[in-house]
Structure 1
Amino acid sequence: MFKDLYDVIVVGAGHAGCEAAAAAANMGAKTLLVTMNLQTIAQMSCNPAMGGIAKGQIVREIDAMGGYSGIVSDRTAIQFKMLNKSKGPAMWSPRVQSDRMRFAEEWRDMLENTPNLDFYQEMISGLLFDGNAIAGVKTSLGIEIKGRAVVLTNGTFLNGLIHIGEKQFGGGRAGESAAFGITEILKDRGFESGRMKTGTPPRVDARSIDFSKLQEEPGDAYPQKFSYSNLSQPLQEQKSCYMAYTSPLVHDLLRSGFDRSPMFNGRIKSIGPRYCPSIEDKINRFADKERHQLFIEPEGWKTREMYVNGFSTSLPEDVQFKALSSVVGFEKVKFLRPGYAIEYDYFPPTQLKHTLETKLVDHLYFAGQINGTTGYEEAAAQGLMAGINAVLKLREQEPLILKRDEAYIGVLIDDLITKGTEEPYRMFTSRAEYRTLLRQDNADERLTRKAFDIGLASESRLRRMEEKYAKAQDVVTFFKETSVTPAEVNPILVARESAEIVQSDKMFKVFSRPQIDLAAMRELEKVQAFLADKDLDDEILEQAEIIVKYSGYIEKERNQADKLQRLEDIKIPESFDYMQLKSMSIEARQKLTAIKPITLSQASRISGVSPSDISVLLVHMGR
């Protein structure tokens, strides 16, 4: 069945596996995607949504790099929202509610229309090695499939264990069996593994909810989209979400089941996501809060299934039902399935290189929840980068490692490799020190050229991006070079409660004021005349406005990034012996030896490595 040698074998078809397979195949590698069930490719295991705070930036970056997540999200969206619009552009984050079934269907359709990509359905229970390198995989039927590189994206399936109250059973997801064998093989090769936990809320029948008692949450009046390409369009029609609230009565009913909760009776020993806690964890940790928000999200256009976001739980099903039935609007609720928690194996990501290749086995890559992350977007980003770097290494080309000032994806991977994680890692804007540079609106400017250089973006897409930013820069130049008199602009300033000018000044300076937006500037005849003969869409004008408003901050962050780049340019030999540096702390020597950073900048971000330790390294390296 498998006589040919594959370039890349991807194990698992979740968000990480799909992006890894698409990237490798689109770069021309002969690729095989192996999954336990071809009917659940790109399954949204938890909430039916893509994007959100910082996660939306990641989806935009994936799209700019030639990935599929943005296109699929646009084509299957049922609602679009730009979050944090009341804050500055660096905080804006796109998010869509997705049609769960169409999302998986669209992913499979795109993958099946990707050249160089084969599929196979079976559990992978073994790995093949050739000395210190991976040589392929072995299925549960004993079939050996040879491959030059392997990407493991096993999600929550490695020795997965599902908990509902005092009941527990093996599974990687509701209705699907766990995967066995891989963890033990990797541990025998010297890998360190651990256990993590995540959970999901009950799904309920929309026909049993009284929506008149809930708060409606519609989408944006003028929805945008994720993808920078012309392969998707903004939504013309949207579905609403709804908001409900728990109460002291609901909390008391939930507490009544704590003695049967696997979280509190010791059955679950692993750590769950700090920023997406279960409902029992929330009422325990925040006992002073009388209520918590619940977001009621539709699962699609044609289904009545609803996702109760904020009610993730592993409590017994009867306790779940009694508590949710006491939420206003849910008095007659009917469950389609109860919530549950799941424990699974992961491998601390400090065992990886920044390419996501393992340090112990050549050409073996990990991506997604196997690295201790949580979230579709984080997984997809890792899959994309693992697939790219697997192909680049096979070609003996330089790896693609995104820096912290280049992408949220770079922040994500650098955090995992240099700091590791003992709880499910989730991306936030606060994790990025250069978030003014890493905005959702400019991901194409930051990354399209890199995608083009490795063969994941077409020349026409690159040229379209360059034209967009050239036009935006023309607008900025106009404001920088054109003056305005007090008589022309003061009426506009007074109307917006901004101080009047006493002499002519450049429009750029006036436009930079926080009270003045593009709509205000368009009241000026000079601006109207300039824009009249220009072919400029809203995206270009918004880009120009952000550049004007943020120019000072952008320049400041760019200078800071350039200064730190000096440390990034100082490479550390892979065979460097840190233990010889006796003037360095023993903790630093041990951490550096284990993680093996490739630059001095990466070394400086490792927990336990102090500035004085970096100084010792600088002296030793003659700097």
Structure 2
Amino acid sequence: MFQKYDVIVVGAGHAGCEAAAAAANMGSKVLLITMNMQTIAQMSCNPAMGGIAKGQIVREIDALGGYSGIVTDKSMIQFRMLNKSKGPAMWSPRAQSDRMLFASTWREMLEATPNIDFYQDMVNELIIENGVAKGVITGLGHKIHSDAVVLTNGTFLNGVIHIGEKNFGGGRVAEKAATGITEQLVSLGFESARLKTGTPPRIDGRSLDYSKMEEQKGDEEMVGFSYEPIEKLAASNQKSCWVTYTSSEVHEILRTGFENSPMYQGRIKGSGPRYCPSIEDKINRFAERERHQLFVEPEGWNTVEIYVNGFSTSLAEEVQLKALRQVPGFENCKMFRPGYAIEYDFFPPTQLTVSLETKRIKKLFFAGQINGTTGYEEAACQGLMAGINAHLAVKNEQPLVLKRSEAYIGVLIDDLINKGTDEPYRMFTSRAEFRTLLRQDNADIRLTEISYRLGLASQQRMERVLEKIEKVKEVKSVLNSTAIEPAESDEFLKGVSSSPLVSRQKAAQLLLRPNIDLKEMISSIPSLAEKLNGYSAEVLEQAEIQMKYDTYIEKEKELVGKMNQLENLAIPENFNYDKLVSLSNEARQKFMKIQPRTLGQASRISGVNPSDVQILMVYMGR
């Protein structure tokens, strides 16, 4: 019934969709298996993409030829660039999406991608031959063979849903859990553990009083995520979100449900997400706070359903509703469905190599929540990398490994495989030591060439990036060579509360002053307007950032150069650490478990000291 495939991808969430698209676009024949064809690319939790550090990841996915940015741009109902009051390293795009349009657009794009077949069934066993993944066995008993397998099981592996004292098996509400795979992998020597995540109640928007909430509109400039020329939503057509707050009364009602809470009664064993805690977690951990912010987010264009961001909970349904009705604007709210917690299996990611291939089984890759991460964006980028590397493994080519200095994606994977995680991992800008280099605005400049070499980015896309780089150089050249006269700049400088020029000054020097914006400079100073009026906003912004932050960028490049000295020192495969008697016991155990490829990777393993790395360096003649 089934042909043999190059790559089988198990699970069609954000990780699985990106994995299937990447492998197929590189030329692999791919089978995407999902338990429900109607929930491909489902936004299981909030109807939004991007945010702090996550927006950078989506732009990197796009630059590498993934689909998440394109789908988000086509389905967004609101766009905001977060952290604009801070430096560009912190700017993070975020979009509210139409939940149903997002999923249908993803499915349409996958169906339009040559080389992808689909099949609806549960996978409950892997075909393993001589330590190599050779396919899967489905719930209906089908044996489907392949040269590589990518597991992206999300929250479905032995998933259990909790609402108050009720609990039942499921990977999402109204969807059954996946069984068999965990048990098989554990029998093969893999280590597994449990994690927990949760989701808030969904509310009927017709029952809310928005006059009691703060309106949160979208930006007037629709930057979006994809570097492709996709027609964006008109700024004036965006849907608003709203902000309201809990209160001490709300907290008191919630506390009445604690005695039957699955979390406090010990029925949930898995660790929950530190940076996206449940509302009961918040009022316990931050008992001194009298209120917590809630974001009231529409689920789409053609629905009244509302997502209550910030009110994730697993308390009893009646407690959830009673507490919500004390929130301003929610006095008469009607609930579509309650919030719930979900507990599921994951595999600590120190069991993976840098390519996301498992160490125990060749040609078997893990991506997404199976690795202990949380969030669509973190899952999608892992799926992309796993799909790319599954294809390369099938072709017996070297894997694609992004360094920490090249992409947030590189930071995420490096963190996971070296440090592991015992709670759902979430990306933040603070995790990236080279965040001035890894900005959302330059992801195309950083990564498109890699994507082009892999065959994921088109010639046209590569040419657009080269043209952008050239035009940025032209703008910088104009700014460095154009002298501004005091008379033509006086009015502009006065308007931005900056001291007037006493003599001619190069435009580049003027741009370095605080509160000076390049676009405003061009529109106010005739000699600049004459030379720079034809350049796009994207090019002008890139030139401005490069010039204003040149010192910081160069300093980070120097640090990258020093770090790369360690990254380029390879450790022999199957190195015997027992003969290094000077190593600390912890370092020896960690090195033997993780088997770092380079001294740089060895230096970042949790529990390894600088002296341990020096011992390795001395032994290797460095």
TM-score range, shorter chain: over 0.9
CA distance, structure 2, for counterparts of residue 234 and residue 202 of structure 1: 28
Structure 1 partner of 2:52? 53
More divergent stretch after superposition (564-573 vs 13-22): 564-573
Structure 2 partner of 1:590? 589
Q: What does residue range 211-290 of structure 1 map to in structure 2 within 5 Å?
A: 211-236=210-235, 237-290=237-290
CA distance, structure 1, for counterparts of residue 346 and residue 134 of structure 2: 22
Deviation at 1:231, TM superposition (A): 3.9
Structure 2 partner of 1:297? 297
Deviation at 1:233, TM superposition (A): 2.6
Structure 2 partner of 1:137? 136
Structure 2 partner of 1:531? 532
Instruction: Render the CA deviation track for 1:483-508: whole Å, top value 9, x for unaligned.
Output: 33444445543443334444433221
CA contact (8 A) 2:153 2:369 kept: yes
Deviation at 1:162, TM superposition (A): 0.4
Deviation at 1:520, TM superposition (A): 4.2
Instruction: Render the CA deviation track for 1:172-217: whole Å, top value 9, x for unaligned.
Output: 0000000000000000111000000000000010111111111111
Q: What does residue range 109-258 of structure 1 map to in structure 2 within 5 Å?
A: 109-236=108-235, 237-258=237-258
Task: Indicate whether 1:615 and 2:614 are aligned.
Answer: yes
CA distance, structure 2, for counterparts of residue 73 and residue 520 of structure 1: 30
CA contact (8 A) 1:79 1:235 kept: no
CA contact (8 A) 2:486 2:504 kept: yes
CA distance, structure 2, for counterparts of residue 46 and residue 193 of structure 1: 24
Instruction: Render the CA deviation track for 1:545-580: whole Å, top value 9, x for unaligned.
Output: 111111111111111111111111111112111121
CA distance, structure 2, for counterparts of residue 287 and residue 349 of structure 1: 34
Secondary structure of the residue that 1:119 maps to in structure 2?
Answer: strand
CA contact (8 A) 1:71 1:232 kept: no
CA contact (8 A) 1:244 1:294 kept: yes
CA contact (8 A) 1:200 1:340 kept: yes
Deviation at 1:61, TM superposition (A): 0.4
Question: Given residue 214 of structure 1, which amino acid in structure 2 is its aligned partner?
Answer: M
CA distance, structure 2, for counterparts of residue 273 and residue 22 of structure 1: 29
Secondary structure of the residue that 1:565 maps to in structure 2?
Answer: helix
CA distance, structure 1, for counterparts of residue 291 and residue 351 of structure 2: 42
Secondary structure of the residue that 1:225 maps to in structure 2?
Answer: coil
Secondary structure of the residue that 2:94 maps to in structure 1?
Answer: strand
TM-score w.r.t. length of structure 1: 0.98
Deviation at 1:234, TM superposition (A): 4.0
Structure 1 partner of 2:107? 108
Question: Given residue 405 of structure 2, which amino acid in structure 1 is its aligned partner?
Answer: D
Question: Given residue 216 of structure 1, which amino acid in structure 2 is its aligned partner?
Answer: E
Question: Given residue 545 of structure 1, which amino acid in structure 2 is its aligned partner?
Answer: E
CA contact (8 A) 2:519 2:540 kept: no
Identity of aligned residues (%): 64
Secondary structure of the residue that 2:549 maps to in structure 1?
Answer: helix
CA distance, structure 2, for counterparts of residue 502 and residue 209 of structure 1: 59
Structure 2 partner of 1:479? 479
CA distance, structure 2, for counterparts of residue 170 and residue 396 of structure 1: 40
CA distance, structure 1, for counterparts of residue 108 and residue 515 of structure 2: 47
Secondary structure of the residue that 2:220 maps to in structure 1?
Answer: coil
Structure 2 partner of 1:307? 307
Change (3 A) 1:117 1:134: same
Instruction: Render the CA deviation track for 1:43-86: whole Å, top value 9, x for unaligned.
Output: 00000000000000000000000000001001111111111111
Task: Indicate whether 1:509 and 2:509 are aligned.
Answer: yes
CA distance, structure 2, for counterparts of residue 234 and residue 606 of structure 1: 44
Structure 1 partner of 2:332? 332
CA distance, structure 1, for counterparts of residue 308 and residue 566 of structure 2: 47
More divergent stretch after superposition (554-563 vs 484-493): 484-493
TM-score w.r.t. length of structure 2: 0.98
CA contact (8 A) 1:224 1:234 kept: no
Instruction: Render the CA deviation track for 1:433-473: whole Å, top value 9, x for unaligned.
Output: 01111110100000000000000000111001110121011
CA contact (8 A) 1:27 1:391 kept: yes
Task: Indicate whether 1:65 and 2:56 are aligned.
Answer: no
Task: Indicate whether 1:34 and 2:33 are aligned.
Answer: yes
Change (3 A) 1:36 1:429: same
Structure 2 partner of 1:44? 43
CA distance, structure 1, for counterparts of residue 503 and residue 231 of structure 2: 48
CA distance, structure 2, for counterparts of residue 593 and residue 518 of structure 1: 53
CA distance, structure 2, for counterparts of residue 139 and residue 252 of structure 1: 48
CA RMSD between the two structures:
1.2
